[in-house]
Amino acid sequence: MVAIPSSPPASREVVRTAIVPVMLSGADYRRAHDAHHIAAGLWDQAVDWVHAEWKAKHNPSKYDIRAFLTSIPREQRTLHAHTTEAIGYDLYEAIKTSRTNRKNGMSVRSPWRKKNYRPLSFSKHFGWRIRPDNKLNLSLGRGRPGIVLALPNVEDPVGAELVSPDLWSEIQLCWDQDNRQFSLHIPYTSRRSVSAGKAITAIDEGIINPMTLATWVDEGTIDVTVINGREARAIKRQRNKATGALQRKMSKTKNGSRKHHRLVAAKKRLKGKARLQLRDFDHQVARKATNHVIAHSTGRLVIGEVRGIEYKTKQKRRIGRRGRQQLSQWSRGTEERYLAEKTGLDIEHLNESGSTKTCPACGARNRPCGRDYRCKVCNFTCHRDAVGAINILQKAIHGSYVPIGPDVVIRVTYLRDEKRWSPDQRNTHRMVQCRKARALSSAKNQASTETSCKPKLVNSSTSSLEPDPLVAVA
């Protein structure tokens, strides 16, 4: 066997969930709304029953809860049988999670709260199916009309390919509270590349540049990738200012008044939009970092530990009001989670105190000023976040900030933010465009009975020499 110098990245099977906003017809909307209330009612009944069983010293299993739910008369559970069963399974899983958490020392209760609205699950082939006219049918049980939707396009972010409905599993119809619309959650299996190698990559996290990665390429070269976070700062700033303005308006209205309701709705919409944009941004950061990790065949990921720096900043009087807000809205944990998922690596944390101050070339301590680092002793200059990442890298390898020496080449790549639509935004846009087109075409149909979609060559019927087949048919 010939050893391949750089093996292609390994891949593994993962389950992704596509979230597709949907537009329902008036009747379907009401049916979906009622079904969500019925599902919540069933959940409440099951919770009460389980609590009564516990009082009677019984410990109902997953199948006991399911049996209780299916024993409720059919007229009271106007849902597909599989949807009802899924409620029982969900409740059992919730009880199991609360037990595990209690075992781990957390003070949590098993499910007890009354629900008003619950997502509906539709099993493959039974709960959901594709009709001969290529529409998606979500069943609400035998003998009842289902919810009919245009077949959604599910796009896999890897390679931007459409996912065939054969690969979809159990679909959920959920109410998106922030965006005030229904959406389908469609899980499907996909593949994801996983980093496999021996190199060590260190990451320095920050508010201005969410992630800066450093890896030794060979004896004399370090590759540094700086990922810029300007877009996220802009989104957060805009959101903070707009919600602040709404909050001030709300303080002048009466609680419960119509105006107050409207302002609450506007705030929810605003926050929902920002949340989608930030989710997309965090995924972009993690994706760019993953590309660096896979390109350098990293097997060990080390991140400077910054947890806890947000505590008691007000008392310590180190950071101003705006800085504290930035710190509390920093989505560092989410980005780390995405990175771990995308790379398939475990993340190690390391105490990073002094990493931004120590000179990586000579080990002297300087106070960085602005975005550039300059050493007063050896005149070493570099990007400030790159210094942090290189120091964390040295600590991960040697246990302390060992100087890298003056001759090492540091290759810094800057990755700017891309303004791009998230799949959710793209779907919403498509939906709005479709609605506009439909409205336009129905208006046209009312205006004239012509159904020709070809550009008309002849403007009046009197001069027509050849009969237009479409007009002739009409």
Looking at the chain, the number of H-run helices and the number of E-run strands are 11, 17
| Residue with tokens 């017809």, as numbered in its chain | 25
Instruction: Identify the residue among 163, 362, 412, 471 touching Zn ion (CB under 5 A).
Output: 362
294, 195 Cβ separation under 8 angstroms? yes
Minimal distance, residue 362 CB to Zn ion, in Å: 3
C-beta of 168 vs 373, nearer to Zn ion: 373
Per DSSP, what are the bridge partners of residue 414?
Answer: 226
377 binds Zn ion (CB under 5 A): yes
Q: How many residues bind Zn ion (CB under 5 A)?
A: 8
Instruction: Identify the residue among 224, 375, 396, 404 touching Zn ion (CB under 5 A).
Output: 375
390 binds Zn ion (CB under 5 A): no
Distance of alpha carbon 246 from alpha carbon 172, whole angstroms: 33
Distance of alpha carbon 330 from alpha carbon 315, whole angstroms: 20
364 binds Zn ion (CB under 5 A): yes
Three-class DSSP category at 247: helix
C-beta of 379 vs 464, nearer to Zn ion: 379
Structure tokens at 235: 């989104």
Site for Zn ion in 104-143 (CB under 5 A): none
Mark the segment that binds Zn ion (CB under 5 A) among 136-144, 199-207, 368-376, 433-441: 368-376
| Residue with tokens 């509390």, as numbered in its chain | 328
Mark the segment that binds Zn ion (CB under 5 A) among 136-144, 318-326, 379-387, 429-437: 379-387
Minimal distance, residue 397 CB to Zn ion, in Å: 19
Q: Which of 380, 395, 403, 287 is nearest to 341 (CA)?
A: 287
Per DSSP, what are the bridge partners of residue 174?
Answer: 183
- AA letter at 403: P
Instruction: Identify the residue among 188, 338, 380, 401 touching Zn ion (CB under 5 A).
Output: 380
359 binds Zn ion (CB under 5 A): yes
Neighbour-count burial for 357-382, b at 16+ CB within 10 Å, e otherwise: bbbbbebeebebeeeebebeeeebeb
Per-residue CA distances from 235 to 206, 276, 287 (Å): 17, 10, 19
Interface mask (CB under 5 A) for Zn ion, residues 314-353, using x and -?
Answer: ----------------------------------------
Number of neighbours of residue 442 by Cβ within 10 angstroms: 10
Instruction: Identify the residue among 81, 148, 347, 378 touching Zn ion (CB under 5 A).
Output: 378
User: What is the maximum span of the chain, computed from C-alpha positions, in angstroms?
Assistant: 92
Mark the segment that binds Zn ion (CB under 5 A) among 229-237, 320-328, 358-366, 390-398: 358-366
Number of neighbours of residue 261 by Cβ within 10 angstroms: 12
C-beta of 49 vs 380, nearer to Zn ion: 380
Mark the segment that binds Zn ion (CB under 5 A) among 37-45, 188-196, 357-365, 413-421: 357-365
Three-class DSSP category at 97: helix
Minimal distance, residue 302 CB to Zn ion, in Å: 23
190, 164 Cβ separation under 8 angstroms? no
382, 335 Cβ separation under 8 angstroms? no
Minimal distance, residue 386 CB to Zn ion, in Å: 14
Minimal distance, residue 361 CB to Zn ion, in Å: 5
Mark the segment that binds Zn ion (CB under 5 A) among 44-52, 66-74, 261-269, 360-368: 360-368
80, 35 Cβ separation under 8 angstroms? no
Minimal distance, residue 366 CB to Zn ion, in Å: 7
Mark the segment that binds Zn ion (CB under 5 A) among 176-184, 309-317, 377-385, 464-472: 377-385
361 binds Zn ion (CB under 5 A): yes
Minimal distance, residue 363 CB to Zn ion, in Å: 7
Instruction: Return residues touching Zn ion (CB under 5 A).
Output: 359, 361-362, 364, 375, 377-378, 380
